[in-house]
Amino acid sequence: MSTWFLAALVSSCAALNAELLISNALVAPDGFSMNAIVVNGQTPGPVLTAQKGERFQVNVTNLLVDESMNKSTTVHWHGINQHGSAEMDGSPMVTQCPIASGRSFMYEFTPEDQSGTFWYHSHFQLQYCEGMRGALVIYDPEDPYLGMYDVDDESTIITLIDWYHVNAYDLALADTPASTLINGVGRYPSGPPLPLSVIHVVPGKRYRIRLMNMACRPNYVFTIDNHVFTVIEADSEYTTPLEVDSIQIMAGQRYSFILVADQPIDSYWIRAMPNYDTSFAGGLNSAILKYDGAPAIDPIPRNWTLTNPLSEENLHALVNPSAPGVAESGGADVSINLEAVWDGRMSYLINGYTYTSPPTPVLMQILNGKLDISELKPYGSVYTLPANKTIEVSIPGGQPEGPHPFHLHGHPFSVVRSSGSDVYNYVNPVRRDTTSNGRSGDNVTIRFRTDNPGPWFLHCHIDFHMEQGMAVIFAEDTTGAASTLNVTSTWKQLCSTNDPSSLTERTVEQHRRRHMNHRIRH
C-alpha cells in the first residue's frame, strides 16, 4: 500500500498538517490504463494517520481539469462526527459549496473523543468512484485491546475497492466492476497477471487488521484461508470481542479484527468475494497473506469451509452499550420511517421525494435564518430535528439493487434492529455509522441523540444510488446551529467561486448520460 503520514507539530496543543493535491492522471491499478482522479499522485490516496485528540489541518488544492469527472470537488471525512464543526463535513450543497478548480480550502477540525478506522473521499457526484478516496486512522493510546495484538500500523490496513474500465457516468445500472482492488491492486478477467497485494506476517505475532470497504457499489464477503478473526471494532466504535471466520462488509463500513499468525509457514489466499461474482480464478478478487519464510509464489487453493460468518446482531458496543431512549418500542422522542422506492426509470425516492442538491448549501440557509422545515430546500428531503432528543429511524429493505448501506453523517447510531433479524435490542446493540437496510421484510431501525447541531446527510453509500436521490438531510437543532457555528470567510468564499447554475446543468447532463446508457443496454 502507498504510504504517507500526516506530520505532527509538537506544541502545547498538538496539530496535524497535511496537503492533499487533487488532480487527474492516467492509472492502471489492474493493468488497464484509465483516466482517474488521484490524491497526491496516487489512488487510493495517501493514508492519513493521527493520534486521538489531535487537530486536523488539511489543505485541499483542486487541480482537476477533466470535465468528464467534474472539476469541482469536496472531501468528506467518513465517520468523523464533526461535533461543533459541521461546516467541515465536506458534503456539497449541504455543509459547503464545492471547491472550484484552481482553488484551495483548509479543512480544520478536532475529532472529539474519536479514534478508530475511518476514510476520506470526495462527496461530489461520482468522483470517489473515479479514484478520489483514501484511508484514515486515528490511533488510541488507551485502546482497551492493546494487550491483544502486537502490530497495528499501515501494513495492517486492508482496503477494498471496485474498479471500472469506463467513466463512472457511462456505466449502465447493471454493469459490474472490471476488478476488485485490494490495497490498490487487482486483476481482471483475461488481463495481465499483475503482482497482488501482500500482507506480511511473522509466525506467532498478533495483528490488528483494519478492513475498509471503500467501494462505490459492492459489498464483499472477506475471508483468509485457514484463519479466524476476532472483531473488536465496527465503524470506529469498539465492540465486545466476537470470533468469526468471514465478514460481509458493506460499502462505507469498516471493521478491526485481530488476526493471529498461528498457521504453518506458508502463503494463504485473502479473498474478497463481491456480491456480483464468485470467481477467484487467476487471482481475481484476491490478495495474499504471506508468513515470513514462505516462498514468494501464489498460495495453493485450500478446502476452507466457512461456518461462522459475522452477523451484525451479534456485535455489541463495548462502551455505554445501551441505546438512547426508553428500552421499548416507541421509546424515542421522535420516530421517522423512511420508505425508499425506485421509480423504475432513473431515480430513487424517499417518502415520495428524490434528493437533489439545493442551489444554496443547507448550512448556509440555516445561518441566513431559515430554520423551519417549510423554509429549507430541497423541499421534501429535509427533516428538522429538535435538540437533545432521542431519534428513531426505520428503513425498510427490499428495494432493487439492494441491500443498501445507509450512512449517517454527524453521528454514530445504535442499530436496535439489524437486517436479517426481527429482534429489537435496546440493551447492548452495536453502535456504528453505516448499516445495511437488508432485504424485503427487514425493518432496520437505528437510534441516536441530537447533540450535534447542523445539517447531516443520511444516504445510501452505493454512490450511484446517492447520485440518483437516495438521501435525506436531518437539519438538527437549527436554532443551535445558527447561533453556535462560526464559519470562516474562506468557507463563505467557496460559494462565490462556484456557479451553481453550471453545476446544475452538469448534473442534469450526467443524469441524462446514465439514463441513456440504462435504456440502450437494457
Each residue's pLDDT tens digit, 381-402 = 999 999 999 999 999 999 999 9
Q: What is the pLDDT of residues 18-44, one digit of tens each?
A: 999 999 999 999 999 999 999 999 999
pTM for this model (two decimals):
0.94
Q: What is the pLDDT of residue 517?
A: 46
Contact 89, 99 (CB under 8 A): no
Distance CA 272, CA 279 (A): 10
Number of other residues whose CB lies within 10 A of the CB of residue 190: 6
CA dist 430 to 211, 232, 324, 435, Å? Answer: 17, 11, 12, 10
Helix (H, G, I), strand (E, B) or coil at 184: coil
Which among 343, 315, 131 is positioned nearest to 238, based on CA atoms? 315
Which among 323, 311, 340 is positioned nearest to 411, based on CA atoms? 323
Q: What is the pLDDT of residue 345?
A: 85
User: Would you place residue 175 in the very low, low, confident or very high pLDDT band (cuts 50, 70, 90)?
Assistant: confident
Q: What is the pLDDT of residue 14?
A: 66
User: Would you place residue 344 in the very low, low, confident or very high pLDDT band (cuts 50, 70, 90)?
Assistant: confident
Residue 504 has pLDDT above 90, yes or no: no
Residue 193 has pLDDT above 80, yes or no: yes
| CA 445 to chain centroid | 19
Average pLDDT over residues 180-196: 97
Q: What is the pLDDT of residue 514?
A: 46
User: Would you place residue 112 in the very low, low, confident or very high pLDDT band (cuts 50, 70, 90)?
Assistant: confident
| CA 430 to chain centroid | 17
Contact 431, 437 (CB under 8 A): no
Non-local CB neighbours of 57 within 8 Å, separated by 6+ positions: 15, 16, 17, 18, 106, 107, 108
Give the dihedral sign, CA 68/69/70/72. negative
Distance CA 434, CA 117 (A): 13
Distance CA 325, CA 333 (A): 7
Torsion angle defined by CA atoms of residues 266, 226, 153 and 183, in that order, rounded to the nearest 10 degrees: 90
Residue 378 has pLDDT above 90, yes or no: yes
Average pLDDT over residues 52-67: 97
CA dist 310 to 99, 212, 230, 242, 465, Å? Answer: 40, 15, 10, 8, 26
Residue 506 has pLDDT above 50, yes or no: no
Which among 380, 334, 359, 355 is positioned nearest to 457, based on CA atoms? 355
Contact 480, 75 (CB under 8 A): no
Q: What is the pLDDT of residues 121-143, one digit of tens each?
A: 999 999 999 999 999 999 999 99
Distance CA 417, CA 422 (A): 7
Q: What is the pLDDT of residues 312-343, one digit of tens each?
A: 999 999 999 999 999 999 999 999 999 999 99
Q: Which residue is listed with cell 472539476?
A: 71
Instruction: Describe the strand order of the beta sheet including 431-432 as a list of residue ranges.
Output: 334-337, 390-396, 443-449, 413-417, 431-432
Average pLDDT over residues 237-257: 98
3-state secondary structure 245-281: CEEEECCCCEEEEEEECCCCCCEEEEEEEECCCCCCH
Contact 48, 134 (CB under 8 A): yes
- Cβ density class 406-442: b for 16+ within 10 Å, e for less: bbbbbbbbbbbbbbbbeebbbebbbbbbbbbbbeeeb
Bridging pattern class, strands 198-201 and 286-291: parallel
DSSP3 helix / strand / coil % (the chain, rounded to 5): 15, 35, 50
* DSSP 8-class letter at 518: H
Q: What is the pLDDT of residue 7?
A: 36
Residue 373 burial (10 A CB sphere; 0-12, 13-18, 19+): middle
Which cell numbers hold the place of 46? 495517501
Non-local CB neighbours of 496 within 8 Å, separated by 6+ positions: none
> What is the residue-averaged pLDDT of the chain?
93
